[in-house]
């Protein structure tokens, strides 16, 4: 069956499946179940998931990790008045069987609580196997922060650091933007720079 309507979720392609995680309806009822859409058969199914799962949320980010994993970071649960800084990995075996959630241990600088941010996975260069997390909203307001999560030791450990480069000095705090990798360049487009708008 198709998942219920929602916004603020993520959709991540792993092989022939599009994994839909999180989000909420207009009444801020958050989706706790994981669904996947088989892109060849055009069919939905609810994913059987074992283990402790992250708190339901929306506004988080997700990137594909290899052929069988989705890395989820941050987000917000308005009902609980809680922003998140955690990182979870959904291991979804391509051959079938139940998926499992794991929360890796954290090292390095503490990741910031954030919502409506962007995240991209780097697949080449000196930061290969790192997720770059850009901007977002936080309890303190809009973030100009860019943090890097080294995912090379997943599923056990994630090491966080703050991005430092002279080109970042002009980055304005924002949320709800889009980001993409083009070669060795990070492109950020749009977003809301005034949370009152």
For 104-115, write each residue's pLDDT tens digit: 999 999 999 999
Q: Which of the two residues, 37 and 171, has the higher pLDDT score?
A: 37
Q: What is the mean pLDDT of the chain?
A: 93
- Tell me which residue has tokens 């402790």: 52
According to the model, what pLDDT value does residue 99 have? 96
Q: Of 195, 95, 54, which Cα lies nearest the Cα of 138?
A: 195
**Beta carbons within 8 Å of 170's beta carbon, 6+ residues apart:** none
According to the model, what pLDDT value does residue 165 have? 76
Check pLDDT > 60 for residue 7.
Answer: yes
Check pLDDT > 80 for residue 167.
Answer: no
According to the model, what pLDDT value does residue 106 have? 97
Strand order, beta sheet including 43-46: 10-14, 17-21, 35-38, 43-46
Q: Which of the four pLDDT bands, split at 50, 70 and 90, describes residue 195?
A: low
Q: Of 86, 193, 95, which Cα lies nearest the Cα of 144?
A: 193
According to the model, what pLDDT value does residue 169 have? 72
Check pLDDT > 80 for residue 127.
Answer: yes
According to the model, what pLDDT value does residue 111 have? 97
What is the pLDDT averaged over residues 117-133? Answer: 94
ω into 155 cis (within 30 of 0) = yes
Whole-number Å distance between alpha carbons of 78 and 72: 18
For 8-65, write each residue's pLDDT tens digit: 999 999 999 999 999 999 999 999 999 999 999 999 999 999 999 999 999 999 999 9
Check pLDDT > 60 for residue 184.
Answer: yes
Strands (E), the chain: 10-14, 17-21, 35-38, 43-46, 49-50, 61-65, 69-73, 76-77, 82-83, 87-91, 99-102, 105-108, 118-122, 130-134, 137-138, 141-142, 146-150, 157-162, 178-182, 185-189
Whole-number Å distance between alpha carbons of 83 and 139: 7
Q: Which of the four pLDDT bands, split at 50, 70 and 90, describes residue 196?
A: low
Check pLDDT > 90 for residue 197.
Answer: no
28, β-bridge pairs = none
């Amino acid at each position: 069956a198709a998942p219920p309507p929602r916004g603020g979720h993520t959709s991540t392609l792993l092989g022939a499946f599009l994994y839909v995680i999180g989000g909420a309806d207009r009444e801020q009822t958050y989706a706790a179940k994981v669904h996947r859409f088989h892109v060849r058969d055009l069919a939905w199914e609810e994913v059987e998931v074992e283990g402790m799962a992250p708190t339901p949320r929306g506004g988080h980010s997700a990137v594909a990790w290899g052929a069988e994993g989705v890395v989820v970071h941050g987000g917000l649960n308005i009902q609980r008045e809680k922003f998140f800084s955690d990182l979870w990995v959904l291991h979804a075996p391509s051959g079938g069987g139940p998926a499992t959630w794991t929360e890796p241990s954290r090292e390095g600088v503490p990741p910031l609580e954030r919502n409506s941010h962007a995240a991209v996975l780097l697949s080449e260069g000196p930061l290969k196997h790192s997720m770059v997390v850009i901007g977002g909203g936080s309890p303190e307001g809009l973030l100009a922060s860019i943090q890097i999560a080294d995912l090379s030791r997943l599923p056990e450990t994630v090491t966080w650091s703050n991005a430092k480069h002279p080109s970042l000095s002009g980055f304005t705090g924002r949320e709800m933007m889009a980001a993409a990798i083009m070669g060795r360049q990070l492109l950020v487009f749009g977003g809301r720079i005034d949370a009152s708008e």
